[in-house]
Amino acid sequence: MRNRSFIKHYYIMLLPGMVWLLFISIIPMFGIAIAFQDFNPGQGIWKSTWIGLENFEYMFSLNDTKTIFFNTVYIAVMKIAGNLIVPLVFAIMLNELRLMVIKRWVQTIVYLPHFLSWVILSGILLDVFSYTGPVNGLLNIVGIEPVLFFARADLFPFIVVGSDVWKEFGFNTIIYLAALTGISPSLYEAASIDGATRMRRIWHVTLPGLRTTIVLLAVLSLGNVLNAGFDQIFNLYNPLLYSTGDIIDTWVYREGLLNMQYGLATAVGLLKSVVSFVLIIVSYLLASKFANYRIF
């Protein structure tokens, strides 16, 4: 009896989320139809002309399509790797700090950028990396010619990934720190009694203790792989950087909203969704295999 009422409460708590999902994610799915239409806003979805796969054919004929898919995956994978490794290393280092005051200070400072939007941060980045900015000032001191960072397509992915990791690592560290508190101190005591050095303790106690968390985060981020960060790239890029910086989202935005190519943009967006869907399934299977993570 007691159990059942518990379950009922869970369902009530689920309700707002389901309603949100219905209106924000499921109902708009009907808009996919636009990908198969010569969409005319005045006529709406019901009356626009159906053109079959024409949008998809044009999409595959464009050189852009290959480029934006490659860029999206490339930038996203690098971001995922960076956002896993850097906070992990940082959390372990913080964990080894014995002075609580310093630990708290450091923690607070590094997670601050998380709360700034990319609109603001991109302005700062553009200034910092500008031709007369501080970075070039430093390069000048070491005797390197100034670099026009935002004209260099080859450097752009690194700026994007680097700044994203810088913005988020402090915040992601919190997850690991939380997981670290779950490791029983008795394990460390046992290890030191056995004569383990500090590095040994990290290797044999801390890391295995974090294993589930690491795998879980890695696997879950797979489903997000095609979201390489619209806000960030949109605020930083220019035509010189299209070849390495243009991602699916920025492209869809330009074609769909700026150039009013609704059908084409929806087609590309749909392809992205399909790929994302497959990745989510795969990551779920992986999560259940390696981290014992199951929803159902």
Partner 1 sequence: MVMVAMMLLLAFTSACSDAGNEDETAENNTTPGVVEEGPADPFGKYDQTITLRYGKEVDPTDKSLPAGDTPENNQYSRYVKDNLNIDTKVTWQAATGTNYEQKVNLAISSNDLPDALVVKDTQLRAMVKAGQLEDLTDAFNRYASPAMKSYMEKTNGVSAQAVTFDGKMYAIPSIQVQSDGVHQMWIRKDWLDKLGLEPPKTMEELENVAKAFVEQDPDGNGKNDTIGIAGQQNGSRLYANFLESTNNTYGLDPIFGAYKAYPGFWLKDNAGNPVYGSILPETKEALAKLRDMYANGLIDKELGIRKAASESVVNGNAGIFFAPWWMGYGPLPDAIKNDPKANWQAYLLPLDADGQFNAHMGAPSTVFVVVRKGYEHPEAVVKMLNLLIRDESKFDISVPVGHYPLRVPMSYMDESEYSAKALQEVLAGTKKPEDFTDPGYKLLAADIQNVKKVKKEPYDNMDIQYWDPQADLGVWSRIYSLLVGSSSLQQDYNKVYSLLYSQTRTMESRWSNLKKLEDETFLKIIMGAAPLDTFDTFVNDWKKQGGDKITEEVKEYVK
Give contact residues for partner 1 (rule: CB under 8 A): 24-25, 27-34, 39-47, 58, 62, 64, 123, 126, 130-132, 148, 150-153, 226-227, 230, 238-240, 242-243, 248-249, 252-262, 264-266, 269-270, 272-273, 276
- Return the residue matching tokens 């260099």: 152
Task: Name the CA dihedral angle for 269, 274, 279, 281, rounded to a multiple of 10 degrees.
Answer: 140
Instruction: Name which of 26 and 85 has its Cβ closer to partner 1.
Output: 26
Nearest to 34, CA basis, from 51, 22, 19, 18: 51
At residue 49, the 3 state secondary structure works out as strand
* DSSP character at residue 53: T
For the bound state, the minimum distance from the C-beta of residue 193 to partner 1, rounded and expressed in Å, comes to 50
Q: Which amino acid, one-letter code, is at 251?
A: W
For the bound state, the minimum distance from the C-beta of residue 163 to partner 1, rounded and expressed in Å, comes to 16
Nearest to 35, CA basis, from 273, 230, 250, 279: 273
For the bound state, the minimum distance from the C-beta of residue 72 to partner 1, rounded and expressed in Å, comes to 12
Instruction: Name which of 108 and 243 has its Cβ closer to partner 1.
Output: 243
Instruction: Name which of 90 and 149 has its Cβ closer to partner 1.
Output: 149
For the bound state, the minimum distance from the C-beta of residue 160 to partner 1, rounded and expressed in Å, comes to 15
Q: Which two tokens stand for residue 31?
A: 């808009």
- Between CA 239 and CA 76 the distance in angstroms is 20
Instruction: Name which of 111 and 253 has its Cβ closer to partner 1.
Output: 253
C-beta atoms surrounding 275 within 10 Å: 16
Instruction: Name which of 173 and 250 has its Cβ closer to partner 1.
Output: 250
For the bound state, the minimum distance from the C-beta of residue 198 to partner 1, rounded and expressed in Å, comes to 43
